[in-house]
Amino acid sequence: MNKPTRPQGKPNGNPNSKAAARPQGPARDKPKTHVATDASRRRQHNAHAASQVQDEGEEQVLQLAALAAAVAAGEPDAAGRRVGQDELERMIRKCLRQRDDETLYEALEHLRFEDSRGHALLRAVAEEAADIVFMRRGEKEMEINAFLIPFLARTQGGLQAGRVFADGDAFDTLRASLQEAGLESPKARVVLVHHLYHPDEIGALTYSDVDAMNRDAFASLTDKKVMSVPAIERSMRGWPANDFAVDDEVLELRFLLGFALKDLDDPFYAIPQDEAAADAYFEQRAERFRTWAEKHTPLMQHCLTGKSGDEARCQLHFMYQDLFHGGKQTGNAEYGTLQMMSELEHGLAQSGAAAADATAIFAVADEDGETVLQVQLRAAGQVLAQAARVLEGDPHEQLADAADAVSTLGVAQFRLADGFAADGSVQRERDFPA
């Protein structure tokens, strides 16, 4: 996701500029005068206004970061709410309405190094506020949310954008299947965007972009006069160029994007209060998704390639339907893990070493404002293989998931480090956390 740059401080004068020459002789005693022109007054006003806006922006970033840190430090009440949470949500919704992504991302960047709990809370609240928008039509309260279904497609030569969703009837059947399979309520209004999203397109969408897309979808579903959805149209930036050869076996990540409009009191979405009952509710939902994915794989193959079965030469692996940011993280994490595993397997094969003899050393580092997981497979002091991938969400959870994935190679020894030097040497190695 594109991150706004941190606002800079007030511009300084040029220290190398030369002072104006002093008047010589009698002119030195002449009183100095200045006639303000309209142009000079405008320049002074604009400079002052820009500085004032900049100061206000920095102050708002610090206020938002401080509030998130304070709320995260508090204890939740019986309803799971913390003191100050209402105000935090209000500030975030205001940023979204004003399309002020800069304040949100700057506050997150500030907290990333200062307060991990505050950072996690602010990120979670911002994601939920963007993904779920509450609206009112007359006396009726409604909710609209953006959701993603990430999936992996293994093809020969890669997916062809011109063929995807070319069959309009098949696409309509795909949309209807979400409610027929029980993934959404029969009473909800559900739409799929007639565009298959590349990870670059999903990654480019900011919090306020997703919020605006939700509002576009709401207007489209509730107002017969609405003819355009500008935020959704802007989101379809297009795929990067396909450089694969026709006979290349290619594994690609793609996303289905949809919107669901529902009544707040729809019992289909009511999560039981009891913990065991809530677990059963989500397991039933997951089972319905697995059934949908298995049943509708041939339909999806046809939507992607215009062909079905063996003729499509397209293998699909659906992950899970989730809110926008949850689906984005799931898709990127699984695809990143597969890329990491491929690089490690290739390195082991090149070295000729057995995985059972290797030790996996993990490090979580910061690179260009992103959290990156690095891993090396080593034996007898030598690097056998190495890989890295960007992390989204909780780094501790993803570290554990990565270790589980690496263990499938046959690696049984795990260590943790602060990082790796340019020559590949390990920095402060220690036991892997339980």
What angle do the packed helices 38-73 and 101-114 form, to 10 degrees? 50
What residues does each domain of the chain span? 50-73+84-133, 138-320, 332-431
Q: What is the pLDDT of residues 262-279, one digit of tens each?
A: 999 999 999 999 999 999
Q: What average pLDDT score do residues 302-324 get?
A: 93
Model pTM?
0.84
User: What is the C-alpha separation between 152 and 252, in angstroms, rounded?
Assistant: 6
The answer, yes or no, to whether residue 333 has pLDDT greater than 90, is: yes
pLDDT the model gives residue 41: 53
pLDDT the model gives residue 367: 84
Q: Strands 370-379 and 382-390, how do they pair? A: antiparallel
- The fraction of the chain above a pLDDT of 70, given in percent, is 88
Concatenating the DSSP letter of every residue in 132-167 gives: EEEEEETTEEEEEEEEEEEEEEEEES---TTTTT--
pLDDT the model gives residue 78: 85
User: What is the C-alpha separation between 19 and 98, in angstroms, rounded?
Assistant: 44
